[in-house]
Amino acid sequence: MRRILIMIPMMFFISVICFIVTELQPGDFLSQYLENPRISPQQIETLRRELALDKPAHQRYLIWIKNIVTKGDFGYSFSYQRPVVELIWERLGWTVAISILTIGFQWLFATLMGIYSALHPYRAGDYTLSILGFVGLSIPEFFLALVLMYLTLKLGGTTVGGLFSPQFIGSPMSWAKFIDLLKHLWLPIVVIGLSGLAGLMRIMRGNMLDVLGSPFVTALRARGLDEKTIRRHVIKNALNPLVSIAGMELPNVFSGTIIASIVLNLPTIGPFFYNALLNHDQYLVMTFLMFIAIITQIGNLLADIALALLDPRINIS
């Protein structure tokens, strides 16, 4: 309960910082139209009044916050002229789906690889996996996406970019459409997932080695427990810290993939947010940032709860 209450001032604080940062960006939504001879200076003035951009920043911020608190209204997008929540909602489905699949992919492979590495430390398998992980970590996502797309095309694949082949976009769901989706989906999952893989894997490996060397394992061995049971205890213990960083992973996947999504032409929120940022579509940007912030906080909260379930010694007060 206390944790949840703390989130409120926290969100407020974050919103102020985000607002200041978006204000610091030179120009505003209307500066892109200054050079357009079709739009007269008078019209820009009219628009400025309509969008309340003529008011000082702190006033706009207060109006925005007031509408959120009193009406749950996060404001309008300057360019789409629709409520920002609606616009974000429209694009959230695929974002969440891809994020969850990506995280699933990361975790599955990271833990498996971590466990394998830790059980065979400083041997060829360990080194190979580490190198693979670090390569994924160090290559920029967009570049990896381009390379993989190029390789797929070279090897005769045609299913590149987007989530569906053009003929399936908008058609009702069918078996053929699902297969088509699977053909497209692996690429973004691998591209986005690979970057976080190394980090998670190293954490898992380190934890495993720590736990393997800890006295309670020695004690278990001394009592003659079989190696399989010991391993189960070790893995359970080693998973602990991994769960606590799980909360961080969701917003990372959400926000860290903007460029990859642009390159892969995914209908996620990332490219949309990027465009809003370039256009100074302030309320859209703000709402998205707040959304990421709240996801992070909820993620952390959930991680804590999961941790408590995994390890009864930790208690949430």
Partner 1 sequence: MKRFLLSLLLLSISIALSAEFLVEDELLTPEPSPKWGGTLRLVLPSTPESFLMYGTLDSSTYSITMGPMFSPLVEMHPVTNEIKPALAKSWTVSSDGKEVTFHLREAYWSDGKPITSDDVIFTFKYFVMNQFARGNSIDRFTIPDEKGVNKMIEWIKIDDKTVKALLPSPYGAFYTVLSHVYIYPKHKLEPLIDKNDLGSVNKIWLSNTDPKEIVVNGPFKPVQLITDQKLILERNPNFWKVDKYGYRLPYFDKIEYLIIRDEQVRLAKFMAGEIDFMAISSRDYPMLKEQELAGKTPYVVYATQPNQPTPSPIHISFNFDVDDPELKELFRKLEFREAMEYALNRQRIIEEVFAGLAIPDAGLMLPSNKAFYNPKIEQLLRPYDLKKANELLDKIGLTRRDREGYRLFTTGKRVEFNLLVQSSPKEYQDVALIFAEDLRKIGIKVNLQILDASLVGQMFGAGNFQAGIRAFGNQPDPQLRKAIWQPGTQLYYWHYSTMDKTKTPPQPVFENMFDWEKRIWELFEKGQVEMDPVKRKAYYDEWQELYHIYLPVIFVCKGMNIWGFNKNLGNAGLTKEGMLRFTVWTSYRK
Per CB under 8 A, residues contacting partner 1 are 26-27, 31-43, 46-47, 50, 79-82, 86, 90-91, 146, 149, 153, 158, 160-164, 166, 169-170, 262-265, 267, 271-272, 275, 280
Nearer to partner 1, 110 or 264 (CB): 264
Q: How far apart are the first and last CA of the chain?
A: 8
> Least Å distance between CB 89 and partner 1?
10
Positive or negative CA dihedral for 148, 268, 133, 128?
Answer: negative
Contact 192/94 with Cβ under 8 angstroms? no
Helix (H, G, I), strand (E, B) or coil at 76: strand
Residue 36 C-beta: closest distance to partner 1, Å: 8
In the block, residue with structure tokens 């999961």: 306
Indicate if the alpha-carbon torsion angle 252, 254, 260, 264 is positive or negative: positive
Rounded Cα–Cα distance for residues 17 and 1 (Å): 25
Between 55 and 231, name the residue whose CB sits nearer to partner 1: 55
Q: How far is the CB of 97 from partner 1 (least distance, A)?
A: 14
Dig out the tokens for 147 from the structure.
């390379």
Q: 79 or 130: whose CB is closer to partner 1?
A: 79
- Smallest gap, in angstroms, from Cβ of residue 240 to partner 1? 39
Q: What is the DSSP-derived secondary structure letter of residue 51?
A: T
In angstroms, give the least distance from the CB of 67 to partner 1: 17
Residue number, 50 or 316, with CB nearest to partner 1: 50
Q: 1 vs 24, which CB is nearer to partner 1? A: 24
CB 148, min distance to partner 1, A: 13
Minimum distance from residue 27 beta carbon to partner 1 (Å):
4
DSSP line for 105-144? HHHHHHHHHHHHHHHSTTSHHHHHHHHHHHHHHHS-HHHH
- CA 198 to each of CA 240, 249, 282: distance values in angstroms, whole numbers, following the listed order: 18, 13, 35
Task: Pick the closer one to partner 1 by CB: 244 or 265.
Answer: 265
Which residue's CB is nearer to partner 1, number 9 or number 166? 166
CA-to-CA distance for 287 and 299, rounded, in angstroms? 18
Which residue, 252, 255, 295, is CA-closest to 271? Answer: 255
Shortest Å, Cβ 285 to partner 1: 14
Contact of 62 with 51, CB cutoff 8 Å: no
Task: Judge contact between 314 and 111, C-beta under 8 A.
Answer: no
φ and ψ of 76, to 5 deg: -105, 150
Cβ at position 209, least distance to partner 1 in Å: 42
| Cα-to-chain-centroid distance, residue 198 | 16
Pick 46 or 229: Cβ nearer partner 1: 46
